[in-house]
Structure formats: C-alpha cells, structure tokens
Amino acid sequence: MSLELSKKAAAVKPSSTLAITARAKELRAQGKDVVGFGAGEPDFDTPENICEAAIAAITEGFTKYTPASGTAELKEAVCKKFREFNHLEYGPDQIVISNGGKHSLTNIFAAILNPGDEVIIPAPYWLSYPEIVKLAGGVPVIVTATEQQDFKLAADDLERAITDRTKAVIINSPNNPTGMLYTEEELRGIADVAVRKDIYVVSDEIYEHLVYGEQRHISIASLGKEIYDRTITCSGLAKSYSMTGWRIGYTGSSREIAKLMGSVQSHQTSNPNSIAQKAAAEALAGPQDSVEVMRAEFDRRRKYVMERIHDMPLVSAVEPKGAFYVFVDASQVIGKKHGGVTVESVSGMADILINEYDTAVVPCGDFGFENHLRLSYAISHDMIRKGMDRIEAFLKELQ
Ligand code: GLU
C-alpha cells in the first residue's frame, strides 16, 4: 500500500527505557542472570493496604465507569496531599486524575499547546518529554544545563531561550535522570522569569517523596500567587508507592486547564481504571509508613552505588539528592578498547554490558547527554552489588 502513515507518529522515538527493561526481562526468561539498572521501577511489592483496597473495589463491584477526570474520593485525597505535603491549595475541580504520569503530561500539553508552540525542556531530561510535546503539536526547545550547574536550569538560560512562541517550561525536581533537586532560590529565579515572560510552568514532581539528605522538596507553585496561577503541578503514585503498573497520575492546575484536560480525557480513555483509583485513594489517605521504609532503603542503595562508582576507574557521578537514579559520566570510556575493539560511544558500552556482562544500563543519548549513562538503584541491594561488580570488571578490562 502506498498510503502515508502519520508523520507525527513516525517522528516519535519508542521509549528506550522501556525497551531496555523489556530486553532485560526477555534475557531473564531465557535463563540469564541479568542485573537490570534500566527502568526506574521500585522492586518492592505494592503495600498490602493498597492491594486490599483494590481487592475490596472488585468484590464490592466498583468496576464501572467513574467520572472522566476521576472519582470525588480520590480527588479529595489528592487535594489533602497537595495541602499537607506540597503546601498547595487546590479544590477538587482543579484536579484531574489520569492513567499515570505520562498521561497527565499528555493531557497538559493537549490543553495548553497550539501547533508550533515551543516548550523549553532543560537537558538532561526524561526521554519522554520531547516526544509527548511533539505528539501534542509542540516544538521541544532543549536548553542544556552543565555539570557545573548540577545539571539544573539557570533562570538566565531560561530567559534567553524564551521566544514569542514559548508556551511553557518543564521543571522536573527531583530530576530523572540526574537525581538533582532544585533549591527554593533556584525555583524563585525560574518563577520570576515565568511570571515576567508570561509562560506556563509544567512541574513534574513524580519523585517528590524520594529525597535524601538535608534539602527539602519544594513545589514551585507554592512560591506565590502569580506562579501558582501559571503552574500545572503533576505527580503520580508509581514511584512513591511502588505502583508502576497501576497507572495513576494526577495534576493540580487552574480550573480552566483542568476543565480542558477533563474534556480531552473523556474522549480518550473515559476515565482512569476504577479499581486503581480506589487503590490510589487508599495509598494517599492511608498509612504512609511504607513510603518512608522504601525511601530509607533507596537512600542506603544510593550511598552504596556512589561509593562503588567513586572507586571505579573512568567513570564519575554527581551525588543525587532525590529520585532513584545515578547519572554517570562515562566519557572517558569512549575510545578505550574492549577485547581489541574500540568502544565508540556510551551506547556501545551499554551494548557490551548487556551482551557480555548481563547488565542493563540506560545510555543517556535519548536524555540529551550522549556521554552519560543512567543507573536505576530501584533494585535489590544484592542485585546492585552484583551489577556494580560486573561494571567494574568491564572497566578494568578496558585498554
Ligand atoms: N520513568 C521511568 C524511567 O525513566 C520508567 C520508564 C519510563 O517510563 O520511561 O525509567
């Protein structure tokens, strides 16, 4: 057939984090002892109280359509969480529950973008941002932050990148893939530019509970009325409650934007899964001890990974302050020889690690940084140790 398919869809790169994870699972199914530093997916079971709420939803027949933008019960739980944890006042009509963080972002850009509108994305960025923006007809504008800036967008750089087509900037703190956390002062600088230049801020706070050390997570929308009005705060249950497969995300925004997102969603998915919404309400309103247990364990793993990287040749990393990733500079590996063959790129290094060392890592070309790779430490301590031993063996064999 000669019929042309969608140019927009053809321009989208498939998610490499998911592809790497799928490959690791495939190799494991073939009996290989693969260590997966790939997707950021907590290894813990979803806490029992959350699972029980889902089972009760099924047995009690809560298995029908819900309101398109989510149940009143879950919206109330989200409002309470925003108030108590983020110091943000949103009413239920400002909340849209969606099928996961990616879907929330898809809704946001469907609601705010017109064809050709620019969205500023600080690099390193989570690989799905540019693709989601493009799917909504927008144009991603990448602004690279250096290691000297701890990979965080500087207010001046944001201001310089703004044109008369700029509609929004994405801020992701704690950050995937770097684990960096913006300070209040840094966020105030960005908020000031956003207000003055009249652009939206899309604040992706999916890792908000996973913060280590002294610094606290701050929601940019909490820094004043003007920035509150132009921020869409986005989060979800996957990372903090080990609920990746349940697919529940949510946003807090102006009523106007929430209404548009709700309308879009009503045609796209009818509503988020009813059972998962019951589980999410329990996650947010029920006991929070499991969140702290997981956070503390991630912190132990983070310290261990950093110690190991510190002792390895040819690689280095800035200490992450949140999320569960270490962003590793592997530029010195490029040009070294492995088994007589030159390692041409970090992506090539990742291929060697999976094929010859049974270890999956994420090369960060799709995150805007060709010479870095990302390690997710959301896997067990034993697996981490085994994987770090293998990476170290690989590095020591290089010539
Ligand atoms: N967000 C996680 C990651 O970056 C899960 C995979 C994905 O959705 O990209 O690994």
The continuous run of DSSP H or E covering 36 comes out as strand 35-36
Q: Residue 39 above 90 pLDDT?
A: no
pTM (two decimals): 0.96
The protein residue with its alpha carbon nearest to ligand 1, atom 6, reads 39
Ligand 1: which residue has its CA nearest to atom 2? 40
39 lines ligand 1 (CB under 6 A): yes
pLDDT of residue 1 exceeding 90, the answer is: no
Residue 262's contacts (CB-CB under 8 Å, 6 or more residues apart) are: 68, 69, 96
Indicate the pLDDT class of residue 2, thresholds 50, 70 and 90. Answer: confident
Is the shortest distance between the CB of 42 and ligand 1 below 6 Å? no
Res 295 pLDDT > 90 = yes
- Residue 176 Cβ inside 6 Å of ligand 1? The answer reads yes
- Give the model's confidence band at 367: pLDDT under 50 very low, under 70 low, under 90 confident, else very high: very high
More confident residue, 198 or 13: 198
Report the atom number in ligand 1 closest to the C-alpha of 244.
5
Mean pLDDT of 290-313: 98
Q: For residue range 132-181, what is the model confidence (pLDDT) as tens digits?
A: 999 999 999 999 999 999 999 999 999 999 999 999 999 999 999 999 99
Mutate to test the pocket of ligand 1, among 41, 131, 178 (most ligand atoms within 8 A of CB): 41
pLDDT band at 387 (very low <50, low <70, confident <90, very high): very high
Give the mean model confidence (pLDDT) for residues 3-21: 91
Contacts with 70 (C-beta within 8 Å, 6 or more apart), sequence order: 95, 96, 97, 98, 250, 271, 272, 277
Strands 325-329 and 372-376: antiparallel
Report all structural domains of the chain as residue ranges with CATH numbers, in order of start: 7-45+290-397 (3.90.1150.10), 64-285 (3.40.640.10)
* Test site for ligand 1: of 12, 13, 16, 18, most ligand atoms within 8 A of the Cβ: 18
CA distance 329 to 310: 12
- Tens-digit pLDDT profile for residues 195-233: 999 999 999 999 999 999 999 999 999 999 999 999 999
d(CA 244, CA 236): 9
Average pLDDT of the residues in 348-355: 96
| Exposure of 95 in the CB half-sphere (CA atoms within 13 A) | 26
Stretch among 4-8, 100-104, 386-390 having the lowest mean pLDDT: 4-8
What is the average pLDDT score of the chain?
A: 97
Query: What's the average model confidence in pLDDT over 90-113?
Result: 98
- Segment 292-306 shows an average pLDDT of 98
**Which of 16-25, 122-131, 172-181 bottoms out in mean pLDDT, i.e. has the lowest?**
16-25
Taking the CA of residue 176 as reference, the ligand 1 atom at the shortest distance is: 4
pLDDT of the residue at 167: 98
In one-letter notation, the amino acid at residue 318 is V
